A and B are shown apart, each in its own frame.
Chain A
Amino acid sequence: MPGKTPDKEPVENGGYRGGKDIDMKDKDLKPKGKKASKKEGDDEMTVVVPPSKTQSSAPPPNDADGDISMDDSDKMGDEVKVDPVVQTMNADIKSNFALLDRAVALFDARFSLRALRSISSIRKRLTPDILAQVVSETYPSSSPSSSFARQILVMVGRPDMSLGRQPGPEMEIDSEPKAAGKNGAKKEVKEVIPEIDVFLGILTQVLLHDSKAFQKGFEFSSYLVDRIRSLSRRTLDSLSAKVYFYYSLFAEQISPMPPSSQSPIVSIRPALLAALRTAVLRKDVDTQASVIVLLLRNYLLTSHIAQADLLVSHTQFPENAANNQVARFLYYLGRTRAIQLRYTEAHEHLTAATRKAPSSACALGFSQTATKLLLVVELLMGDIPDRATFRQPNMETALHPYFLLVQAVRVGNLEDFETIIADHADTFRRDGTYTLILRLRQNVIKTGIRMMSLSYSRISLRDICIRLHLGSEESAEYIVAKAIRDGVIEATLDRERGFMKSKEIGDVYATREPGEAFHDRIRACLALHDESVKAMRFPMNQHRLELKNAQEAREREREMAKEIQEGDLDEDDLGGEFEGM
């Protein structure tokens, strides 16, 4: 049995020895990373859970249960101490196998999604030991995916653990006849389904990411991606979406870091594009959504805006994608549009992104980043953002530089504006809003002119020039003329005498503006209604029940009809009488 020789490492292992871990400047990972970095002391809770609970937590596949109970009795001899945390973790992870099993059996992606959702809670407590133990217990050494399992073991740094540890003793010690009698037949047939492989693979990715072994993680991810492609099972859809996510996350962390065109993220583009193609052909919504988002992020990180734009125009983002993916997609789209000066679209997308972002604290980073960009876009559109935005307690400090910026723009003070840019240049550059903010200069000037036009009915160009710190009177004249043409102010210029004369401000209610605002709101409400109708869920096979009910109803109807028929005569008689009358 190959699995029994623990020191025989897989060939691929040679490469990993040399691969050094890149030490990480813990760069703020923008939206996605934030989600990950939440750690809480949930441990106490899990310690309390008695080991006996493990049995009940995984009801349907009997053999998982069997393994665990074997585990309990076996542990005593095998290892001296059994950590209860390890035990519960073990069971937690395995209970997901049951979900995955069911997902495959019923072909319902919701079970895989539930398994994926549990990753975040498992993540906090995951250690290499636990994972290695689960792996070694899950895979019998003769299983076809044993090479994969061993790969995981190598990755988590426990290459000397043997596979099929629990099943092995089980056979030898006691349960051989019993198992054969009870569920042995099932056991022979049942092998570890690839979904479980991939699920454990994801856990490995998570573990490697949390331990900052990025190079290792990247190599493992490439391996995992290859494996998914070769497996090509539809039940893997939602799992593979996750795998690609970590794949590209690892790629981002390896030096040279993203802005450089030499970053490995450039080299993973073909893989992602291939995955996108497959996903689109298969109508695999999860992978499609997450890969589109990853590609967009990828392009934007290297500032390939044209490519990002082309990607968006050539693909269709799946309508019923997960909410979080939609939020990310909208954010990246908004960013692209903002760079392309399509502010109205950018504003629309970013507003939607901030609203769709989860309101809980776990995605605070995303909300902050999206809000920052949204603020800048609003400023660029000539709007002044709502002050309440800056008062939200969890955003206040992050948004402070932007608050100062808004103040400067609102007053139209060019001097303040320049100093704020200079002071906070690093912050803005880190947020990727610097180039956008530089474009604000013209807005500051416009606001300044507007303020001037509102306060004075007539003002000389010289004064405008002095107050706005413009280069010369001539410049001021051109700038004011342009502002008049762009509809910023209602005024006329007098060239000979060199002043600007403001026109009377019309009644805003006489214009079409209130109507438009009203229309916008109604449209938003209608869209909300439509979306909530679309969001309603109907459980599978429910219609059969209804059909059954319908059939019963029909039968009842038939009976009723029969009764009526029987009583028909009476009715007829009655009718006759009526007719007769």
Chain B
Amino acid sequence: MAEHELTTVVNQLRSSPPTTPYTTTTSLLSRAKLLLLQLNALTPSPSVPVQHLVLARDIYELGALASIRAKNPDAFTRYVSQLQPLYEVLQGHADAAEAAANSVSGERNKITGLYLLLLLTQGRYAEFHSELEALSSSMSSMNDVEADRYLGYPIRLERWLMEGSYDRVWKAMKKGEVPCEEFGVFSEILTYQIRSEIASSSERAYPSLPLSSTKSLLFLESEGAVVEFARSRGWIVKDGQIYFPSAQEEEGEQEKEISQMMIENTLGYARQLETIV
């Protein structure tokens, strides 16, 4: 009964266009979750039959994608953490029954790729790498991971970001290397992120910059946007050149800090010596 109803809900969700308002999707999803509860398949356990687990996975995947489209990262993270144990249990069933890998793994890579990208944009690098480690051990080799359409994208982006090849990130986003539209949601955040990264490194690297070339440096549309951006960061625009406020003032404080530290250390040694002798 519930199973049949669930299948119809899943189909309904699948067939609905991506433009469907988030509220309709969520109401459908919560109905589906109630049905899952009736089937005892809301949380995976070994006793649940495989087809129910597959249904549960479909629901969660659809929910995850919907929440990404609605730009709701919290909901997405929730769906991902619900999906992860499910994937593992399903993987187990697949190993046992030698079932077709495709029917079982579903959209795992897509979801994981999105999750990686989310972690990347939120600057949670530790979790990003933990996730990556798990991937590389579950996949047969790292090359497979990188070759995957969905997984390779965030991995490459991370590498470029770490290296500082921001232009490649930019090109990747512009040239339609984005594997599917859900990934595009993050492009805006990423653009903002690399722009502020470039800005902070430019402050240190250049004594001054001409306005015209800053436009291309920061991937901005017009010079007006450059001026605006410069103002928001507190840069001084003069005669078509941008000057950065120097970081000279900090020096004196640092000097003070050093002597403070020295005193602290020496006192510490004295105290320790006292206890030893």
Take A341-B126, A441-B159 as given contacts and tell me if A482 and B164 are in contact as well, using a CB distance cutoff of 8 Å. yes
In the complex, are the beta carbons of A261 and B92 less than 8 A apart? yes
Interchain residue pairs with CB less than 8 A apart (28): A256-B95, A259-B137, A259-B138, A260-B95, A302-B137, A303-B130, A303-B133, A305-B134, A306-B130, A339-B129, A340-B126, A340-B130, A434-B136, A434-B142, A441-B163, A445-B163, A475-B164, A475-B168, A478-B201, A481-B202, A482-B201, A485-B204, A485-B205, A493-B205, A493-B206, A494-B206, A495-B206, A519-B265
A435 within 8 A of B: yes
Q: Could you list 10 further interchain pairs (A-B, Cβ under 8 angstroms) beyond the known A429-B141, A445-B163?
A: A261-B91, A262-B91, A303-B134, A429-B142, A481-B206, A482-B163, A483-B164, A495-B209, A496-B210, A512-B258
A394 within 8 A of B: no
Contact with A along B247-277 (1 / 0, CB 8 A): 0000000000010011001000100100010
B49 within 8 A of A: no
| Minimal beta-carbon separation of B204 from chain A (angstroms) | 4
A572 within 8 A of B: no
Whole-angstrom distance between the alpha carbons of A261 and B44 in the complex? Answer: 14
In the complex, are the beta carbons of B133 and A339 less than 8 A apart? yes
| Minimal beta-carbon separation of B92 from chain A (angstroms) | 5
A474 within 8 A of B: yes
Whole-angstrom distance between the alpha carbons of A131 and B165 in the complex? Answer: 65
Whole-angstrom distance between the alpha carbons of A262 and B203 in the complex? Answer: 52
A2 within 8 A of B: no
| Minimal beta-carbon separation of A444 from chain B (angstroms) | 10
Measured CB to CB, the nearest residue on chain B to A485 is: B201
Residues of B with C-beta under 8 A to A302: 137
A480 within 8 A of B: yes
Take A435-B136, A526-B272 as given contacts and tell me if A481 and B126 are in contact as well, using a CB distance cutoff of 8 Å. no
| Minimal beta-carbon separation of A463 from chain B (angstroms) | 17
Q: Which of B163, B207, B258 contacts A479 (CB 8 A)?
A: B163
User: Secondary structure at chain B's binding surface: helix, strand, loop or mixed?
Assistant: helix
Give 8 closest A-B pairs by Cβ, nearest first: A482-B164, A340-B126, A305-B130, A485-B201, A481-B205, A303-B134, A481-B201, A479-B164
Whole-angstrom distance between the alpha carbons of A512 and B205 in the complex? Answer: 23
| Minimal beta-carbon separation of B33 from chain A (angstroms) | 25
B39 within 8 A of A: no
Whole-angstrom distance between the alpha carbons of A277 and B262 in the complex? Answer: 44
Measured CB to CB, the nearest residue on chain A to B92 is: A262
| Minimal beta-carbon separation of A335 from chain B (angstroms) | 10
| Minimal beta-carbon separation of A299 from chain B (angstroms) | 11
Contact with A along B206-224 (1 / 0, CB 8 A): 1101100100010000000
B200 within 8 A of A: yes
Contact with B along A456-496 (1 / 0, CB 8 A): 00000000000000111011001111111100000111111
A515 within 8 A of B: yes
In the complex, are the beta carbons of A303 and B265 less than 8 A apart? no
A522 within 8 A of B: yes
| Minimal beta-carbon separation of A578 from chain B (angstroms) | 39
Whole-angstrom distance between the alpha carbons of A485 and B138 in the complex? Answer: 37
B88 within 8 A of A: yes
| Minimal beta-carbon separation of B30 from chain A (angstroms) | 28
| Minimal beta-carbon separation of B47 from chain A (angstroms) | 15
A442 within 8 A of B: yes
Whole-angstrom distance between the alpha carbons of A262 and B94 in the complex? Answer: 11
Residues of B with C-beta under 8 A to A482: 163-164, 197, 201
Residues of B with C-beta under 8 A to A304: 134
Interface size on A, residues (CB 8 A): 49
A355 within 8 A of B: no
In the complex, are the beta carbons of A529 and B167 less than 8 A apart? no
Interface residues of A (CB under 8 A from B): 256, 259-262, 302-306, 309, 339-342, 425, 429, 434-435, 438-439, 441-442, 445, 470-472, 474-475, 478-485, 491-496, 512, 515, 519, 522, 526, 529
Residues of A with C-beta under 8 A to B205: 480-481, 484-485, 491-493
Measured CB to CB, the nearest residue on chain B to A526 is: B272
Take A435-B132, A512-B258, A519-B265 as given contacts and tell me if A342 and B126 are in contact as well, using a CB distance cutoff of 8 Å. yes
B79 within 8 A of A: no
Whole-angstrom distance between the alpha carbons of A256 and B276 in the complex? Answer: 55
Contact with A along B145-166 (1 / 0, CB 8 A): 0000000000000010011111
In the complex, are the beta carbons of A341 and B125 less than 8 A apart? yes
Take A303-B138, A305-B133, A526-B272 as given contacts and tell me if A481 and B262 are in contact as well, using a CB distance cutoff of 8 Å. no
Measured CB to CB, the nearest residue on chain B to A493 is: B205
Residues of B with C-beta under 8 A to A522: 265, 269
| Minimal beta-carbon separation of A503 from chain B (angstroms) | 11
B127 within 8 A of A: yes
Q: Which of A340, A342, A478 contacts B166 (CB 8 A)?
A: A478
Residue among A475, A482, A492, A515 facing the most chain B CB atoms (10 A cut-off) = A482
Whole-angstrom distance between the alpha carbons of A271 and B150 in the complex? Answer: 38
Residues of A with C-beta under 8 A to B265: 515, 519, 522
| Minimal beta-carbon separation of B44 from chain A (angstroms) | 12
In the complex, are the beta carbons of A472 and B163 less than 8 A apart? no
Residues of A with C-beta under 8 A to B198: 478, 481
Measured CB to CB, the nearest residue on chain B to A519 is: B265
| Minimal beta-carbon separation of B164 from chain A (angstroms) | 3
In the complex, are the beta carbons of A439 and B162 less than 8 A apart? yes
Take A442-B163, A475-B167, A480-B205 as given contacts and tell me if A485 and B133 are in contact as well, using a CB distance cutoff of 8 Å. no
Residues of A with C-beta under 8 A to B141: 429
Whole-angstrom distance between the alpha carbons of A495 and B200 in the complex? Answer: 16
Whole-angstrom distance between the alpha carbons of A303 and B198 in the complex? Answer: 34
In the complex, are the beta carbons of A435 and B276 less than 8 A apart? no
Measured CB to CB, the nearest residue on chain B to A486 is: B201
In the complex, are the beta carbons of B88 and A261 less than 8 A apart? yes
Residues of A with C-beta under 8 A to B125: 341
Whole-angstrom distance between the alpha carbons of A442 and B164 in the complex? Answer: 8
Measured CB to CB, the nearest residue on chain B to A474 is: B167
In the complex, are the beta carbons of B167 and A481 less than 8 A apart? no
In the complex, are the beta carbons of B138 and A261 less than 8 A apart? yes
